[in-house]
Amino acid sequence: MKTFDQYTMQDPRTQYPLPKAKPDASQPEPGLDKLLKPKADHGEASYRGSNRLAGRKALITGGDSGIGRAVAIAFAREGADVVITYMPSEEEDGQETIKQIKDDGHKALAISGDITDENFCKKLVAKAIAELGSLDILVNNAGKQQYVEEFQDITTEQFQKTFATNVFAMFWISQAAVPHMPAGSSIINTTSIQSYQPSAGLLDYASTKGAITAFTKSLAKMLVKQGIRVNAVAPGPIWTPLQQSGGQPPEKLEHFGEKVPLGRPGQPAEVAPAFVFLASQESSYITAEVIGVTGGQHLP
């Protein structure tokens, strides 16, 4: 993919081309960035940091590809030390993210495992803190999304797995992390436009995103007395491996994201700055909020 300068004023409708994906470009779950066609932009060549997160310590789930990779790169370039986690089957993508960060001269660590396992979630937080020395930014980003056309075809196994990945893991990881997070810390959850405008075929995924939105607002009110802010980012149609690995039906991939007002899907690099803002002290008066990055498909 051609690199686009995010710092030069330009028409947002044409800042990135439409990623025309052929139906046969689908790949198995979980999706891998190395198999994504066409490639996504995670800010590898375009994101320029300005020391906004200097000295901060961040844990990012699902940091191997897509939005998670873009956030990891952005955080590191803003001066944060970063730990990412991902499924063992995503090892190659995860190591590519770590290489990108280390090549930039920043500290990064990868921990692979299954966040649907409560014990792993607890060990993940403990290991991240042991490696970083502390923890003051938590990004609950990892997600599962599988498109199923007919309601009766959604299996109990899929429904439970989607909730375990998207909701239970967020609860377990947050609960393990909060006792170690000082005042001024920030928790940022990845929700979705699906929380507000659910699509047919994404019933279980949309339901989890609704839960994440409510969880974010409630947790923010619980943790305000500790000086910890909790917010969320709600992406719209963003071009990531999640879409090609069952998140969308193959016949819809070619026109993915074209119906939003900006007329195209977003790139992970366009989502990461919202996370940087919510992690930084610039957003000190913002908690219990959701920032939409939706291409104009606005939140209510």
This prediction has a pTM of 0.95
Q: Could you give the CA distance from residue 118 to residue 6 in angstroms, rounded to a whole number?
A: 39
Q: Is the pLDDT of residue 23 over 90?
A: no
Q: What is the mean pLDDT of residues 181-197?
A: 98
**pLDDT tens profile 71-129:** 999 999 999 999 999 999 999 999 999 999 998 888 899 999 999 999 999 999 999 99
> Among 16, 86, 196, 205, which one carries the catalytic annotation?
205
Q: Is the pLDDT of residue 36 over 90?
A: no
**pLDDT tens profile 137-158:** 999 999 999 999 999 999 999 9
Contact 42, 268 (CB under 8 A): yes
The pLDDT value given to residue 3: 52
The band of 28, judged by pLDDT with boundaries at 50, 70 and 90, is confident
Q: Could you give the CA distance from residue 233 to residue 154 in angstroms, rounded to a whole number?
A: 27
**pLDDT tens profile 212-250:** 999 999 999 999 999 999 999 999 999 998 787 778 887
State the Cα torsion 163-169-170-174 to the nearest 10°: 150
Mean model confidence pLDDT for the chain: 93
Q: Is the pLDDT of residue 24 over 90?
A: no
Q: What is the mean pLDDT of residues 3-31?
A: 78
Judged by DSSP in three states, 175 sits in helix
Domains for the chain: give ranges and CATH numbers. Answer: 50-293 (3.40.50.720)
To the query of whether residue 205 is one of the catalytic residues in this protein, the response is yes
Q: Is the pLDDT of residue 7 over 90?
A: no
Q: Which two tokens stand for residue 194?
A: 């699906």
* Residue with the two structure tokens 């439409």: 18
The pLDDT value given to residue 1: 44
Q: Measure CA 29 to chain center.
A: 17
Q: What is the CA radius of gyration of the chain?
A: 18
Q: How many CB atoms lie within 10 A of CB 298?
A: 13
Judged by DSSP in three states, 48 sits in coil
